[in-house]
Amino acid sequence: MTDSGHMADTHHVRGRLLRIFGLGFGLAVVLGGVIGSGILRNPSVVAAGFLDPTWIILAWLAGGLFLAVDAMPTVELGAAIPKSGGPYPLAVRALGPFAGFFVGWADWLQLIFSTGFIAVAFGEQVQRLGLLPGLTTGEIAVLLVFACGALNFIGAKVGGMSQSIGSALKALGLLVIVAVLFLAPGKAGVAAAPPPPAFSWIAAAVAIRAIYGAYGGWEAAVYFSEELHEPERNVARATFGGIALVTVIYTLINAAVLHVLPMGVLTQSTLAVSDAMAAVLGPGSGVVVTVVAMWCVATIANLQVMEHVRNTYAMAREGRLPAVLANVSKSGTPRAALCVVVVATSLVILGADHIKGGLYEVLLNLYAPNIMIIFLLLSYGAIRLRQKEPDLPRPYKMPLYPLPALIAIAANGLLVVLFVVSDWRTGLYSLLSLSLAFPLYWLGRGRKPA
């Protein structure tokens, strides 16, 4: 049976996803999925690791290049298997039902934790502006999640349009900041700067991790394959085009900050872009940067809710979750899956809100290793599928096969090991949550695909 026939089968579910998005939407979700508040925080971390403006710029460019290589195996799978749901349907086809479910579960978890992490960052910025003083950071984060849920409940077209507009305004806001900083005299308004710190391999390693984190989210287009026109071509176009645009924006932001702040000031900054704007326009400019940061994380939260719904829908359609979660409204939204995602994410945020320590850090550390494991397995899956199905049409083929896949496997494997070694306690919690895939798969083994 064809994929379209499979989607149209209404014996277990109602409705289907709508093919209503073009390449512009694909580019928007990659931009929207990658660019967040990290680029406003991380220039100082990277500067402290590399200490020289040339090396700093080269490090950000290298991050974009590595990202493109890391994406190649996943994009090959996504273009050959144009099914919505993100990594899950790709892993099922390449690695089999259990390994596929494990990847889907890892993705489900990383989406719930990362959406919570992003929503909490939004709550922190709202409080920085002095708004909603009667609410905790977690409660503000939950309000954002419900707002994103309400927007997407209306329909896929409204959710997609809001994401496209939000991503465009986000990029525009950052480019305006870049222009303001470049138009200022070099090192404008900065008092005598302290000397920069000495080079440290530990600081360089932290800088590399910060760059990797700032570029996360490039896989957004594969969540919407069935909803994209010509997914066989546009998944690759959106992913690599989006990565190129993000790399340009990130490089410009860092060059603009380096134009304004001396190295000794930059390496000690906690909010480098905000400090650079304050040096040019005065302390009041911090409000502008905070508003831009709020917009950045709000658009990512909206996108992550959309992705999480597709992930849940895809697993339900294959019989790994209750079939009701595969129901799709006439407006193209799997509303039952959306409700589950919104409620589950809110419960995670409120639960983490009662844990002592930084709520932001708790959620960040819980989801960090999952995404590395997912891309490691997908990279192996791209190699495995080449062996299993050599005649499968592949509209995009990674160049220099299998080198990009091997690089991605090695890099993501190393990052997982470094994460577990550096924070074994959180790594243990993450691995325990991943291990729930075994009983969940066993419980759902009797369900039939919808």
Q: Model confidence at 315, in pLDDT bands (50, 70, 90)?
A: very high
Asked whether residue 381 is assigned to any structural domain, the reply reads yes
Asked whether residue 1 is assigned to any structural domain, the reply reads no
- CATH number, domain at 204? 1.20.1740.10
Residue 24: give the domain boundaries.
19-443
pLDDT at 365 (0 to 100): 62
Per-residue tokens: 249: 């924006």
* Half-sphere exposure of residue 165: CA atoms within 13 angstroms, side-chain side: 6
**Element housing 65 (H / E):** helix 53-80
86: pLDDT strictly greater than 60: yes
**Element housing 7 (H / E):** helix 3-8
Angle 148-150-154 (CA atoms, 0-180°, nearest 5)? 115
Lowest mean pLDDT among 179-188, 301-310, 355-364: 355-364
Q: Model confidence at 64, in pLDDT bands (50, 70, 90)?
A: very high
The count of structural domains within the chain is 1
Per-residue tokens: 88: 């899950």
* Half-sphere exposure of residue 225: CA atoms within 13 angstroms, side-chain side: 29
Asked whether residue 13 is assigned to any structural domain, the reply reads no
What is the per-residue pLDDT across 107-162, written as a single tens digit (0 to 9) for each? Answer: 999 999 889 888 988 998 898 888 988 898 889 999 999 999 999 999 999 999 99
Task: Provide mean pLDDT across the span 281-288.
Answer: 83
- Region of 217 (left: φ > 0; alpha: ψ -120 to 50; beta: rest) is left
2: pLDDT strictly greater than 50: no
Closest to 345 measured CA to CA, from 375, 315, 301: 301
Q: Which backbone phi and psi does 228 adopt, to 5 degrees?
A: -90, 140
Asked whether residue 215 is assigned to any structural domain, the reply reads yes
- Mean pLDDT of all residues in the chain? 88
Asked whether residue 171 is assigned to any structural domain, the reply reads yes
pLDDT at 10 (0 to 100): 37
336: pLDDT strictly greater than 90: yes
Task: Provide mean pLDDT across the span 266-287.
Answer: 86
pTM above 0.85, yes or no: yes
Q: 20-54 b/e with 16+ CB inside 10 Å = b?
A: bbbbebbbbbbbbbbbbbbbbbbbbbbbbbbbebe
pLDDT at 281 (0 to 100): 87
pLDDT at 11 (0 to 100): 40
Centre a 10 Å sphere on the Cβ of residue 351 and count the other Cβ atoms it contains.
Answer: 12
| DSSP strands (E only) in 275-404 | none
**Residues ≥6 apart with Cβ < 8 Å to 120:** 137, 138, 141, 349, 352, 359, 360, 363
Q: Model confidence at 385, in pLDDT bands (50, 70, 90)?
A: very high
Task: Provide mean pLDDT across the span 381-405.
Answer: 97
Q: Which residue has the tokens 């009701």?
A: 324
Q: Which backbone phi and psi does 21 adopt, to 5 degrees?
A: -105, 145
Asked whether residue 376 is assigned to any structural domain, the reply reads yes
Q: Which residue has the tokens 């149209």?
A: 8
Task: Provide mean pLDDT across the span 298-322.
Answer: 94
**Element housing 383 (H / E):** helix 359-388
Is residue 391 helix, strand or coil? coil
Lowest mean pLDDT among 64-78, 212-226, 391-405: 212-226
Q: Which residue has the tokens 């919690």?
A: 429
pLDDT at 8 (0 to 100): 39
- Determine the Cα–Cα distance for residues 78 and 66; give it in Å rounded to an integer: 19
Contact 214/71 with Cβ under 8 angstroms? no
Asked whether residue 449 is assigned to any structural domain, the reply reads no
Lowest mean pLDDT among 19-23, 216-220, 361-365, 377-381: 361-365
197: pLDDT strictly greater than 90: no
Contact 317/120 with Cβ under 8 angstroms? no
Asked whether residue 371 is assigned to any structural domain, the reply reads yes
Lowest mean pLDDT among 14-18, 130-134, 334-338: 14-18
